């Protein structure tokens, strides 16, 4: 694996399979009474969050702590950044503190890339979501969840049909998933109104469709993306109701799914907008499990990036 | 008295080697050379008329941390320029006679090249009401080029009025063609790559729609229009169409749009962030073809200095713009001359004669290198090569996208009215 995880596109099929296999081992820990391993004892992981994201931050924090790493949480709001400190100076400060890995969430696309490639820090950089670019660990946890339900836990999605529905244009989750799921052999279809598909999407390794009803009966997994409220003012679609009617997942549409098909959402959900409550809370929904799997996948990523050559599970403690 | 220079064996516009005498500010007959003339062996060098830049950001007043009139004109002289037009987006904006006269005076005091201030079209570049264009035209700075560059005069009525109004003093409106609603938050060329990188797209249509509207407006009111930093294949087609229809339109291309493509944005290094953005390889080829066939009249640098911290950051937080004065001629040689698209006479037309005509400074600049003409002359060595080192720039800023690139050519000497501002590649 490379030293950083900036894009799901950086992962070869071998890399992705290794992360998923490692995550499966680490996932077993979640069911044990003592959830901690010594693998990263003495290492320091900094969670550098320039955007509010409690969910992702606590997931990374739990992952690092279960591997016995020291964790420093650095939230941009309430720190010197609000006084105008630059990304570079923040990075130099973290470097001086001896961070081994920096987990960065930033509103600007490419900020983790800059952090990794500008010579500001020597530590590994993990992209925890940058602007409208990528969110590779979300894609990994989504893929991990799919393999548990659709592939009997084997780290492959060969031939599986995955529908990703909603605001693809602004979604870092969709970008990372499109790349990673393709790497793992899945057939991905992006479903959205034409206004919410990026220019050039025809060059991505995916199919696209404007018609949700035509796509989901064949899907093995349906991933609903959050539609942010501000998009409604951007003229991307006429009204929230029209969006829900055409692209929302409700009970009627859920009834057209195959028996084994799972429903996913990266969260946070806007219930009643892209997904109705009865679907979100249904037996098919694996939304809560995605959160559990997120910790295991992030443990695997931190462990492998920080040079874990020994098996993660089975060490002394 | 000023030094008299006898330039031996120089190839004027790439022609047969000859001798030139620069005396008392004019080109004189070499046969009249006095014995004490300073002799320059110009074997292998080309003489071009002093270059004229219609699009330079000198940043003063207001951003003297990025550039001053003095440092910017030093960079200009090193690049072979004897005249630059200083854009109006300073702080305060050059929208009054007072500010344009200040910039003009600073240029005279610095003395490295003639500085012709560009006046803002609208007060504060706000796009709401016309600035006092007549007062700027009548000032000591004698402003003839008006532009809200950095911002587009997007209001169609305001643009129409500006085009009409400047006819009274033979002015021209130089439009920064960018439809604002289509480019809200725009970061890079809109295309496959912007979608992949998650950077908001700046679509070609946002430039082309304004150019199309403006050439129709210029035709309707019978005015002169200049299109700044044209960057797309579609824009070339529109200007070509307008010229065929007899519209009085001129257009410029920047060196970076002749060489660099949007692929460089994949580095997320904002040294490549510029407005209009770097475009596709097909656009670059179309712009080069347009410059070669005369659809695009001139090369202008859009020299845009920024302090280090405004580029040493994440892409979205960075400023738009790149340095251009010291590398322009080399980029034109590499992309246009060495490729056979232009000869040196064509370069002189596009980097000196035509910009001087558009800016209405042809009494002093953009004159042929001939006996009796003002001695604004560049000596250029097209056989030299150099590796761009930002630290060597005379600009206060370092934001060149050509860092580490090997470029052809070297400005050996620049003469402003017979006085050397650059000799042996060094400022005088």
Q: How far apart are CA B406 and CA B414, in angstroms?
A: 22
Global pTM reads: 0.94
Q: What share of chain B is helix, strand, coil (3-state, %, to 5)?
A: 35, 25, 45
Residues of chain A with CATH 3.40.50.1370: 8-135+291-305, 136-290
**What is the reported pLDDT for A80?**
46
Q: Tens digits of per-residue pLDDT, B265-312?
A: 999 999 999 999 999 999 999 999 999 999 999 999 999 999 999 999
| Stretch B135-160: mean pLDDT | 98
**What is the reported pLDDT for A315?**
46
**What is the reported pLDDT for A90?**
87
Which CATH number characterizes residue B129's domain?
3.20.20.140
Task: Specify whether B123 is located in the same domain as B203.
Answer: yes
Alpha helices of B65-110 — where are they, by DSSP H? Answer: 69-78, 97-110
Model confidence at A309, pLDDT cuts 50, 70, 90, reads low
B135 CB within 8 Å of a chain A CB:
no
Q: Out of A87, A118, A200, whose CB is closest to B192?
A: A200
Which CATH number characterizes residue B415's domain?
2.30.40.10
Interface with chain B: mutation pick from A112, A119, A198, highest number of B CBs within 10 Å: A198
Q: Tens digits of per-residue pLDDT, B3-40?
A: 999 999 999 999 999 999 999 999 999 999 999 999 99
Task: Specify whether B296 is located in the same domain as B158.
Answer: yes
| Stretch A194-202: mean pLDDT | 96
CATH 3.40.50.2300 for domain A8-135+291-305, yes or no, is no
User: A286 or A118, which is more confident?
Assistant: A286
Contact call for B315 and A109, based on CB within 8 A: yes
Task: Specify whether B54 is located in the same domain as B42.
Answer: no
Per the CB < 8 A criterion, the answer to whether B97 and B139 are in contact is: yes
| Stretch A76-105: mean pLDDT | 79
Task: Specify whether B311 is located in the same domain as B384.
Answer: no
**What is the reported pLDDT for B392?**
95
Task: Specify whether B25 is located in the same domain as B73.
Answer: no
- pLDDT at B351 > cutoff 80: yes
Interface with chain B: mutation pick from A7, A86, A109, highest number of B CBs within 10 Å: A109
Task: Specify whether B415 is located in the same domain as B283.
Answer: no
Return the residue of A nearest to B190 by Cα: A199
CA distance B267 to chain A (A): 8
Model confidence at A305, pLDDT cuts 50, 70, 90, reads very high
Which of 129-158 (A) contact B at CB < 8 A?
130-134
- pLDDT at A83 > cutoff 90: no
Return the residue of A nearest to B270 by Cα: A114
Interface with chain B: mutation pick from A81, A199, A204, highest number of B CBs within 10 Å: A199
CA distance B330 to chain A (A): 28
Return the residue of B nearest to A171 by Cα: B198
A182 CB within 8 Å of a chain B CB:
no
Q: How far apart are CA B344 and CA B16, in angstroms?
A: 13
In which domain, by residue range, is B230 found?
Answer: 50-358
Q: Tens digits of per-residue pLDDT, B178-223?
A: 999 999 999 999 999 999 999 999 999 999 999 999 999 999 999 9
- pLDDT at A228 > cutoff 90: no
A41 annotated ligand-binding residue: no
Q: What is the distance of C-alpha B128 from the center of its chain?
A: 27
- Helices B156-165 and B204-221 pack at an angle, to 10 degrees, of 50
**Is B398 among the domain residues?**
no
Contact call for B313 and A130, based on CB within 8 A: no
| Stretch B326-330: mean pLDDT | 98
Contact call for A117 and B315, based on CB within 8 A: no
Q: How far apart are CA B280 and CA B190, in angstroms?
A: 10
Contact call for B193 and A200, based on CB within 8 A: yes
Query: For residue A296, what are its two tokens?
Result: 């295991």
**What is the reported pLDDT for A87?**
87
Model confidence at A84, pLDDT cuts 50, 70, 90, reads low
- pLDDT at A314 > cutoff 60: no
Q: Out of B192, B201, B317, whose CB is closest to A108?
A: B317
Q: Which residues of B touch A135 (CB under 8 A)?
A: none
What DSSP line would sit under B173-204, residue for residue?
Answer: EEE----TGGGTT--EE-SHHHHHHT--EE-H
Task: Specify whether B295 is located in the same domain as B181.
Answer: yes
Q: Tens digits of per-residue pLDDT, B39-85?
A: 999 999 999 999 999 999 999 999 999 999 999 999 999 999 999 99
Catalytic residues of B: 302
Task: Specify whether B39 is located in the same domain as B58.
Answer: no
**Is B363 among the domain residues?**
no
| Stretch B346-350: mean pLDDT | 98
Count Cβ–Cβ pairs < 8 Å, chain A vs chain B: 76
The H or E element spanning position B236 is: helix B233-244
Q: Tens digits of per-residue pLDDT, A32-49?
A: 888 889 999 999 999 999
A22 annotated ligand-binding residue: no
Bridge pairing between strands B377-387 and B406-416: antiparallel
Q: How far apart are CA B397 and CA B391, in angstroms?
A: 9
Share of chain B above pLDDT 70, in %: 100
Task: Specify whether B60 is located in the same domain as B25.
Answer: no
Q: Which residues of B touch A87 (CB under 8 A)?
A: 313-314, 317
A81 CB within 8 Å of a chain B CB:
no
| Stretch A74-102: mean pLDDT | 78
Task: Specify whether B14 is located in the same domain as B163.
Answer: no
Q: Out of A118, A172, A201, whose CB is closest to B198?
A: A172
Interface with chain A: mutation pick from B202, B268, B316, highest number of A CBs within 10 Å: B268
- Structural domain total, chain B: 2
Contact call for A130 and B198, based on CB within 8 A: yes
> Which residue, B358, B385, B417, sits at the end of a domain?
B358
Bridge pairing between strands B188-189 and B201-202: parallel
Per the CB < 8 A criterion, the answer to whether B56 and B26 are in contact is: no
Q: Tens digits of per-residue pLDDT, A230-279?
A: 777 788 999 999 999 999 999 999 999 999 999 999 988 999 999 999 99
A193 annotated ligand-binding residue: no
Return the residue of A nearest to B201 by Cα: A199
**Is B149 among the domain residues?**
yes
CA distance B272 to chain A (A): 13
A113 CB within 8 Å of a chain B CB:
yes
Task: Specify whether B271 is located in the same domain as B336.
Answer: yes
**What is the reported pLDDT for A316?**
41
Q: Out of A114, A199, A204, whose CB is closest to B268?
A: A114
**What is the reported pLDDT for A313?**
59
- pLDDT at A229 > cutoff 80: no
The H or E element spanning position B382 is: strand B377-387
* CATH for the stretch A136-290: 3.40.50.1370
Return the residue of A nearest to B185 by Cα: A108
Task: Specify whether B325 is located in the same domain as B386.
Answer: no
**What is the reported pLDDT for A149?**
97
Q: CA of A254: how far to CAs of A42, A106, A212, A227, in Å?
A: 48, 35, 11, 19
Helix (H, G, I), strand (E, B) or coil at B19: strand
């Amino acid at each position: 694996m490379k030293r950083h995880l900036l894009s799901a596109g950086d992962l070869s099929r071998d890399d992705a399979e290794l992360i998923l296999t490692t995550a499966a081992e680490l996932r077993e820990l979640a069911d044990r009474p003592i959830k901690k391993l010594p693998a990263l004892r003495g290492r320091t992981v900094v969670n550098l969050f320039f955007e509010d994201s409690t969910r992702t931050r606590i997931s990374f924090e739990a992952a690092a702590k279960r591997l016995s790493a020291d964790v420093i949480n650095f939230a941009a709001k309430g720190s010197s950044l609000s006084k105008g400190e630059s990304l570079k100076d923040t990075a130099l400060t973290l470097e001086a503190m001896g961070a081994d890995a920096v987990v960065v969430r930033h509103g600007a696309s490419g900020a983790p890339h800059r952090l990794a490639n500008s010579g500001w820090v020597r530590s590994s950089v993990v992209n925890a979501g940058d602007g409208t670019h990528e969110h590779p660990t979300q894609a990994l946890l989504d893929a991990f969840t799919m393999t548990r339900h659709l592939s009997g836990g084997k780290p492959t999605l060969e031939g599986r049909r995955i529908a990703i529905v909603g605001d693809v244009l602004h979604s870092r989750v969709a970008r990372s998933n499109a790349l990673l799921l393709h790497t793992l052999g899945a057939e991905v279809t992006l479903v959205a109104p034409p206004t919410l598909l990026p220019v050039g999407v025809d060059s991505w390794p995916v199919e696209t469709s404007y018609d949700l009803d035509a796509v989901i009966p064949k899907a093995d997994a349906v991933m609903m993306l959050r539609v942010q409220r501000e998009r409604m003012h951007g003229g991307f679609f006429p009204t929230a109701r029209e969006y829900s009617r055409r692209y929302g997942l409700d009970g009627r549409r859920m009834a057209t799914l195959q028996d084994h098909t799972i429903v996913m959402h990266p969260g946070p959900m806007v219930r009643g907008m892209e997904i109705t409550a009865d679907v979100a809370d249904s037996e098919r929904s694996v939304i809560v499990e995605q959160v559990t799997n997120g910790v295991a996948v992030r443990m695997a990523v931190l462990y492998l990036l920080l040079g874990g050559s020994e098996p993660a599970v089975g060490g002394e403690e | 008295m000023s030094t008299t220079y006898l330039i031996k064996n120089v190839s004027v516009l790439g022609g047969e080697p000859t001798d030139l005498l620069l005396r008392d500010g004019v080109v004189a007959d070499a046969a009249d050379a006095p014995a004490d003339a300073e002799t320059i062996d110009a074997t292998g060098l080309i003489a071009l008329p002093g270059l004229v830049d219609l699009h330079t950001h000198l940043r003063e007043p207001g951003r003297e941390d990025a550039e001053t009139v003095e440092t910017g004109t030093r960079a200009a002289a090193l690049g072979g320029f004897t005249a630059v037009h200083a854009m109006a987006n300073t702080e305060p904006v050059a929208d009054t006679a007072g500010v344009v006269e200040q910039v003009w005076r600073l240029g005279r005091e610095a003395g490295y090249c003639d500085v012709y201030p560009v006046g803002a079209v609208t007060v504060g570049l706000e796009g709401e009401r016309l600035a006092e264009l007549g007062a700027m035209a009548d000032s000591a700075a004698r402003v003839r080029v008006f532009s809200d560059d950095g911002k587009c005069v997007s209001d169609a009525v305001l643009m129409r009025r500006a085009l009409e109004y400047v006819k009274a003093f033979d002015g021209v409106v130089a439009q920064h063609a960018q439809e604002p609603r289509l480019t809200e938050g725009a970061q890079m060329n809109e295309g496959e790559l912007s979608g992949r990188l998650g950077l908001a797209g700046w679509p070609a249509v946002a430039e082309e729609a304004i150019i199309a509207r403006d050439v129709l407006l210029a035709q309707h009111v019978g005015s002169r229009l200049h299109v700044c930093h044209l960057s797309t294949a579609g824009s070339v087609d529109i200007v070509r169409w307008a010229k065929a229809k007899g519209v009085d339109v001129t257009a410029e291309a920047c060196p970076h749009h002749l060489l660099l493509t949007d692929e460089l944005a994949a580095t997320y290094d904002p040294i490549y962030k510029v407005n209009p953005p770097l475009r596709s390889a097909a656009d670059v080829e179309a712009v080069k073809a347009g410059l070669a066939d005369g659809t695009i009249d001139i090369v202008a640098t859009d020299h845009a200095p920024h302090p280090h911290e405004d580029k040493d950051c994440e892409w979205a937080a960075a400023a738009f713009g790149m340095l251009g004065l010291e590398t322009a001629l080399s980029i034109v040689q590499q992309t246009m001359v060495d490729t056979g698209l232009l000869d040196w006479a064509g370069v002189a037309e596009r980097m000196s004669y035509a910009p001087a005509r558009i800016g209405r400074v042809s009494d002093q600049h953009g004159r042929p290198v001939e006996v009796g003409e003002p001695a604004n002359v560049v000596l250029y060595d097209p056989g030299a090569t150099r590796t761009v080192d930002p630290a060597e720039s005379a600009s206060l800023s370092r934001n060149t996208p050509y860092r580490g690139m090997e470029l052809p050519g070297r400005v050996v000497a620049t003469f402003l009215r017979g006085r050397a501002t650059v000799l042996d590649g060094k400022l005088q």
